[in-house]
């Protein structure tokens, strides 16, 4: 009998379109797993029980009528709270809004058009400000590998829903590592795509040049399937990526012999990687060498991303806070962050965006000598939950530094970057490395990640009851 908790996107599509199971049965099983597993983990802020069942029945009816199935036909997918789903409140992880969205955001619309079933909304810290999925209104979200530990953030609810086997895939967002950090903490594959690869419509941008949306999955192929369904820009988007090659095709293609540079040097000053992460990078470098790649240690000569990142961070939070219906319901820390960001006037934001281009040019110099950069995904092991308890903006920012130490620079630069699982550490929690690619070159990362996945398979789900 098929274990649906371990079935991925591709598996689920095959089961439903092949007539082995109905979409209704797949969705019903996912809802049962959510009911059984989520109370101890807090991945979902809202489960769309009736809506998901009705949508699954529509998928079954379409298939029975002879309508060609979409590439995600019958797949239950969870959506991070910052994305619009028609009929639900876009909460941004808090209580600032109370009116349901009238229409799906474009990413959600594309998921439905591809045959997916939207099963619920997932927890996040308010406005995704910090890489720990904790909030005053939603409570603490826990890592399914160890419930005393954080799953990271800000897409922590999505990561937990997928890692715990509640759904095959979920959508997150990444403005400073928020797809890669929870993927690394929960044993998932998480690719931050090139800036502008995935539309942010109906919004023109997500934290200006920093943010993008994308899936968290248990396999490289599953990620590619979802990306091929949702990628592409809209006229309203502030940014657009180049190239249109199929991500699914890239997964099935041998990457060839690549020049791969590795480094454990952190971008953030004063941050030292955990020895387990250094070992993971070195072990991965040896595996890649055995696969025939030209692998060598490099110094990336990272530029300081702070002048570009910090103004966009504050401006992004302020822009989202200005749009909510009930500013007074925002968390105390969020309102403090809002006040602290008052110095980011339009001329300062314009200056920061100009700095973004300069930092991107300098960060990309490493790719004059290598095709892919290999680094740790995060610096620390997933810390205990409660990282945001009783702390203000400045202390929360300091606690966030080990999480974003290797990730945030690639939001500023715009490059694609992926968190790739590489087994478990001695503490029983997942290990991961980060692969960074050239501008617009997700396909090389996908081919290389798939090669690593075949050579060194990783656990598919956390060992939850």
Selecting among 80, 155, 360, 419, the annotated active-site residue is 80
Nearest of 161, 165, 235 to residue 196 by alpha carbon? 235
Our answer to whether residue 80 is catalytic in this structure is yes
Our answer to whether residue 121 is catalytic in this structure is no
- The predicted pLDDT at position 459 comes to 87
Could you tell me the end-to-end alpha-carbon distance of the chain, in angstroms, rounded to an integer? Answer: 18
Nearest of 437, 397, 434, 394 to residue 415 by alpha carbon? 437
* CA atoms 203, 219, 43, 389: torsion sign: negative
Selecting among 22, 178, 183, 403, the annotated active-site residue is 178
Q: Which residues pair with 117 in a beta bridge?
A: 76
Q: Where are the domains of the chain?
A: 9-455
- The predicted pLDDT at position 1 comes to 45
Q: Which residues pair with 232 in a beta bridge?
A: 198
Selecting among 22, 45, 135, 154, the annotated active-site residue is 154
* CA atoms 408, 411, 417, 418: torsion sign: positive
- The predicted pLDDT at position 403 comes to 97
Our answer to whether residue 185 is catalytic in this structure is no
Helices 49-64 and 23-37 pack at an angle, to 10 degrees, of 160
Six token digits for residue 300? 């990336």
Core vs surface per residue 273-305: b (16+ CB within 10 A) or e? bbebbeebbeebbebbeebebebeebebebbeb
Round to whole Å and give the CA distance between 74 and 260: 38
Peptide bond between residue 154 and the one before it cis (omega within 30 degrees of 0): yes
Fold of the 9-455 domain = Amidase signature (AS) enzymes (3.90.1300)
Helices 442-455 and 275-290 pack at an angle, to 10 degrees, of 90
Peptide bond between residue 171 and the one before it cis (omega within 30 degrees of 0): no
Nearest of 383, 441, 459 to residue 191 by alpha carbon? 441
Q: Residue 109 in contact with residue 346, Cβ under 8 Å?
A: no
Six token digits for residue 65? 């009528």
pLDDT along the chain (465 residues), means of 10: 86 97 98 98 98 98 97 98 98 97 98 98 97 95 98 98 98 98 98 98 94 98 98 96 96 98 94 97 98 98 97 96 97 97 96 96 98 98 96 95 97 98 96 98 98 94 75
């Amino acid at each position: 009998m098929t274990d649906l908790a371990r079935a991925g996107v591709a598996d689920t599509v095959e089961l439903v379109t092949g007539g082995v199971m109905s979409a209704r049965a797949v969705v019903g099983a996912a809802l049962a797993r959510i009911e059984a597993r989520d109370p101890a983990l807090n991945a979902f802020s809202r489960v769309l029980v009736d809506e998901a069942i009705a949508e699954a029945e529509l998928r079954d009816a379409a298939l029975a009528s002879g309508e060609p199935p979409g590439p995600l036909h019958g797949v239950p997918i969870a959506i991070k709270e910052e994305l619009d789903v028609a009929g639900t409140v876009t909460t941004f992880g808090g209580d600032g809004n109370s009116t349901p969205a009238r229409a799906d955001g474009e990413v959600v619309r594309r998921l439905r058009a591809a045959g997916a079933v939207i099963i619920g909304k997932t927890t996040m810290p308010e406005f995704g400000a910090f890489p720990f999925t904790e909030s005053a209104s939603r409570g603490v979200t826990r890592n399914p590998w160890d419930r005393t530990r954080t799953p990271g953030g800000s897409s922590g609810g999505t990561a937990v829903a997928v890692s715990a086997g509640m759904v095959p895939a979920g959508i997150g967002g990444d403005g400073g590592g928020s797809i890669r950090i929870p993927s690394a903490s929960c044993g998932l594959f998480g690719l931050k795509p090139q800036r502008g690869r995935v539309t942010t419509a109906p919004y023109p941008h997500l934290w200006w040049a920093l943010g993008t949306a994308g899936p968290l999955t248990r396999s490289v192929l599953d990620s590619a399937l979802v990306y091929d369904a949702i990628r592409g820009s809209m006229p309203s988007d502030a940014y657009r990526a180049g190239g249109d090659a199929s991500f699914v095709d890239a997964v099935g293609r041998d990457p060839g012999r690549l020049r791969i540079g590795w480094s454990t040097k952190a971008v953030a000053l004063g941050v030292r990687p955990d020895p387990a992460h250094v070992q993971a990078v070195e072990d991965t470098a040896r595996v890649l060498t055995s696969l025939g790649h030209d692998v060598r240690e490099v110094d990336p000569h990272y530029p300081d991303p702070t002048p570009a990142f910090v103004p966009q961070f504050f401006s992004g939070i302020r822009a989202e806070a200005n749009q909510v219906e009930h500013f007074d319901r925002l968390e105390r820390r969020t309102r403090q962050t809002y006040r602290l960001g008052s110095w980011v006037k339009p001329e300062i934001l314009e200056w920061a965006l100009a700095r973004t281009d300069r930092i991107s040019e300098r960060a990309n110099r490493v790719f004059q000598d290598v095709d892919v950069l290999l680094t740790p995904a995060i610096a620390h092991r997933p810390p205990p939950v409660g990282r945001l308890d009783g702390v203000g903006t400045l202390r929360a920012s300091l606690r966030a530094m080990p999480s974003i130490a290797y990730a945030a620079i690639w939001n500023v630069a715009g490059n694609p970057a992926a968190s790739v699982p590489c087994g478990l550490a001695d503490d029983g929690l997942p290990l991961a490395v980060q692969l960074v690619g050239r501008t617009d070159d997700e396909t090389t990362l996908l081919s290389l990640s798939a090669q690593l996945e075949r050579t060194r398979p990783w656990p598919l789900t956390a060992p939850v009851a």
